[in-house]
Amino acid sequence: MAQEKAKGNGGKDVVIEVRDVVVGFGNHIVLDRVGLDVYRGEILGFVGGSGAGKSVLMRAIIGLLPKRAGAIKIFGTDMAAASDLERQAIERRWGILFQQGALFSSLTVMENLQFPVREYLDLSQNLLERSSVPTWRRRAISNGRRSSGAGASCSSRARCFPRSP
Amino acid sequence: MSDILLEATAQGEQLRLAGAGAWTAENAHNLEALIDSEIRRGGTISQVVIDMGRVDRLDTFGAWLLERLTRSFTARGCDTKVTGLKEDYRALIDEVHGVKREHKAEHHGSTLASTIASVGENIVSVGHSFGAMVNMLGALVVVLARIVSHPRRFRFTSMVHQLDNVGWRAVPIILLITFLIGCIIAQQGIFHFRKFGADIYVVDMVGILVLRELGVLIVAIMVAGRSGSAYTAELGSMKMREEIDALRTMGFDPIEVLILPRIVALVIGVPILTFLGSMAALYGGGLVCWLYGGIDPDIFLARLKEAITLDHFKVGLIKAPFMALIVGVVACVEGLAVKGSAESLGLQTTASVVESIFLVIVLDGLFAIFFASIGM
pLDDT for A151: 62
Radius of gyration for chain A, computed over Cα atoms and rounded to the nearest angstrom = 18
Do B201 and B250 lie in one domain? The reply is yes
Do B85 and B195 lie in one domain? The reply is no
Instruction: State the CATH number of the domain containing residue A67.
Output: 3.40.50.300
In angstroms, the CA B341 to CA B331 distance is 18
Buried b / exposed e along B237-246 (16+ C-beta atoms within 10 A) = bbbbbbbbbb
How much is the average pLDDT of B222-240?
94
Contact yes or no for B186/B293 (Cβ under 8 A): yes
In angstroms, the CA B28 to CA B43 distance is 26
Do B17 and B161 lie in one domain? The reply is no
Q: How high is the mean pLDDT of chain A?
A: 74
Contact yes or no for B212/B315 (Cβ under 8 A): yes
pLDDT for B179: 97
Nearest to B329 by CA among B130, B182, B193: B130
Provide the number of structural domains found in chain A. 2
- pLDDT exceeds 80 at position B1: no
pLDDT for B121: 93
Option in B234, B246, B251 nearest A102 (CB): B246
In this structure, the number of other CB atoms found within 10 A of the CB of residue A5 comes to 12
User: What tens digit of pLDDT does each residue of B48-62 get?
Assistant: 888 888 888 888 888
Do B362 and B221 lie in one domain? The reply is yes
Determine contact: B252 vs chain A, CB below 8 A.
yes
Percent of chain A with pLDDT over 70: 65
CA distance readout (Å), B301 to B196, B207, B275: 22, 10, 18
The answer to whether residue A1 is domain-embedded is no
The answer to whether residue B31 is domain-embedded is yes
How much is the average pLDDT of A99-122?
74
Do A70 and A130 lie in one domain? The reply is no
How much is the average pLDDT of A41-62?
86
Q: Please give the DSSP secondary-structure letter assigned to residue B226.
A: I
Question: Which residues in chain B touch residue A64, judged by CB atoms under 8 angstroms apart?
Answer: 245, 248-249
Q: Which of B249, B257, B262, B336 to mutate to test the interface with A (most CBs of A within 10 A)?
A: B249
CA dihedral B217, B223, B224, B229 (to 10 degrees): 170
Do B80 and B136 lie in one domain? The reply is no
CB-facing half-sphere around the CA of A121: CA atoms within 13 A: 15
The answer to whether residue A35 is domain-embedded is yes
Residue of chain B nearest A85, judged by CA positions: B251
Residue A139: band (very low, low, confident or very high) from pLDDT cuts 50, 70, 90: very low
Do A22 and A80 lie in one domain? The reply is yes
Do A21 and A46 lie in one domain? The reply is yes
Do B260 and B342 lie in one domain? The reply is yes
Do A71 and A114 lie in one domain? The reply is no
Do A86 and A131 lie in one domain? The reply is no
Q: Which of B143, B165, B242 to mutate to test the interface with A (most CBs of A within 10 A)?
A: B242
Would residue B2 be called left, alpha or beta, if left means φ above 0 and alpha means ψ between -120 and 50 degrees? alpha
pLDDT for A152: 63
Q: Residue B225: which residues within 8 A CB-CB, separation 6 or more?
A: B353, B357
Lowest mean pLDDT among B96-110, B137-151, B155-169, B333-347: B96-110
Option in A88, A103, A104 nearest B251 (CB): A88
Do B215 and B89 lie in one domain? The reply is no
The answer to whether residue B125 is domain-embedded is no
What phi and psi values does residue A150 have, to the nearest 5 degrees? -65, -40
Question: Which residues in chain B touch residue A93, judged by CB atoms under 8 angstroms apart?
Answer: none
Residue A142: band (very low, low, confident or very high) from pLDDT cuts 50, 70, 90: very low
Contact: A104, B246; criterion CB under 8 Å: yes
pLDDT: which is higher, A79 or B184:
B184
Do B263 and B362 lie in one domain? The reply is yes
- pLDDT exceeds 50 at position B21: yes
The answer to whether residue A145 is domain-embedded is yes
User: What tens digit of pLDDT does each residue of B285-330 get?
Assistant: 999 999 999 999 999 999 999 999 999 999 999 999 999 999 999 9
Contact yes or no for B21/B56 (Cβ under 8 A): yes
Do A43 and A113 lie in one domain? The reply is no
Do A118 and A54 lie in one domain? The reply is no
Provide the number of structural domains found in chain B. 2
The answer to whether residue A41 is domain-embedded is yes
pLDDT for A66: 86
Percent of chain B with pLDDT over 70: 97
The answer to whether residue B114 is domain-embedded is no
The answer to whether residue B78 is domain-embedded is yes
Contact yes or no for A18/A34 (Cβ under 8 A): yes
Contact: B252, A119; criterion CB under 8 Å: yes
User: Domain limits at B31?
Assistant: 6-102
The answer to whether ipTM exceeds 0.95 is no
In angstroms, the CA B293 to CA B286 distance is 10
pLDDT: which is higher, A165 or B39:
B39
In angstroms, the CA B168 to CA B120 distance is 43
Do A123 and A58 lie in one domain? The reply is no
Residue of chain A nearest B152, judged by CA positions: A119
Percent of chain B with pLDDT over 90: 60
- pLDDT exceeds 70 at position A123: no
The answer to whether residue B110 is domain-embedded is no
pLDDT for A160: 64
Taking the CA of residue A138 and the nearest CA in chain B, the distance in Å comes to 24
Contact: B243, A92; criterion CB under 8 Å: no
- Global pTM reads 0.76
User: Domain limits at A147?
Assistant: 109-160
Do A88 and A114 lie in one domain? The reply is no
The answer to whether residue A104 is domain-embedded is no
Contact: B243, A105; criterion CB under 8 Å: yes
Do A81 and A146 lie in one domain? The reply is no
The answer to whether residue A5 is domain-embedded is no
Instruction: State the CATH number of the domain containing residue B54.
Output: 3.30.750.24
Determine contact: B341 vs chain A, CB below 8 A.
no
What angle do helix axes B60-75 and B90-98 make, rounded to 10 degrees?
60
User: What tens digit of pLDDT does each residue of B137-163 get?
Assistant: 999 999 999 999 988 888 899 999 999
Chain B contacts in chain A segment 70-99 (CB below 8 A): 87-88, 90-92, 94, 96, 98-99
- pLDDT exceeds 80 at position A68: yes
- pLDDT exceeds 80 at position A135: no
Contact: B250, A92; criterion CB under 8 Å: yes
Q: Are strands B6-11 and B79-83 parallel, antiparallel or unpaired?
A: unpaired
Contact: A103, B245; criterion CB under 8 Å: no
Residue B117: band (very low, low, confident or very high) from pLDDT cuts 50, 70, 90: very high
The enclosing H or E element of B325 equals helix B310-336
Determine contact: B238 vs chain A, CB below 8 A.
yes
Q: Are strands A14-25 and A28-39 parallel, antiparallel or unpaired?
A: antiparallel
The answer to whether residue A98 is domain-embedded is no
pLDDT for B144: 93
In angstroms, the CA A99 to CA A22 distance is 23
Residue A5: band (very low, low, confident or very high) from pLDDT cuts 50, 70, 90: very low
In angstroms, the CA B10 to CA A64 distance is 64
Contact yes or no for A156/A103 (Cβ under 8 A): yes
Taking the CA of residue B162 and the nearest CA in chain A, the distance in Å comes to 13
pLDDT for A144: 47
In angstroms, the CA B330 to CA A63 distance is 26
Contact yes or no for B274/B317 (Cβ under 8 A): yes
- Is B54 strand, coil or helix? strand
In angstroms, the CA B190 to CA B198 distance is 8
In angstroms, the CA B109 to CA B30 distance is 30
Do A78 and A27 lie in one domain? The reply is yes
The answer to whether residue A40 is domain-embedded is yes
Question: Which residues in chain A touch residue B241, judged by CB atoms under 8 angstroms apart?
Answer: 100-102, 105
Taking the CA of residue A5 and the nearest CA in chain B, the distance in Å comes to 22
The answer to whether residue B118 is domain-embedded is no
Q: How high is the mean pLDDT of chain B?
A: 90
CA distance readout (Å), A6 to A16, A17, A74, B31: 10, 9, 10, 66
The answer to whether residue B124 is domain-embedded is no
Question: Which residues in chain A touch residue B248, judged by CB atoms under 8 angstroms apart?
Answer: 63-64
Residue of chain B nearest A161, judged by CA positions: B250
Determine contact: B191 vs chain A, CB below 8 A.
no
Final residue of a structural domain among A93, A120, A149: A93
Option in B245, B251, B252 nearest A102 (CB): B245
How much is the average pLDDT of B210-226?
95
- pLDDT exceeds 60 at position A39: yes
Residue B106: band (very low, low, confident or very high) from pLDDT cuts 50, 70, 90: low
Final residue of a structural domain among A93, A127, A150: A93
Final residue of a structural domain among A63, A93, A123: A93
CA terminus-to-terminus distance, chain B: 83
- Strand runs labelled E in chain B: 6-11, 14-23, 47-58, 79-83
pLDDT: which is higher, A85 or B344:
B344
Residue B283: band (very low, low, confident or very high) from pLDDT cuts 50, 70, 90: very high
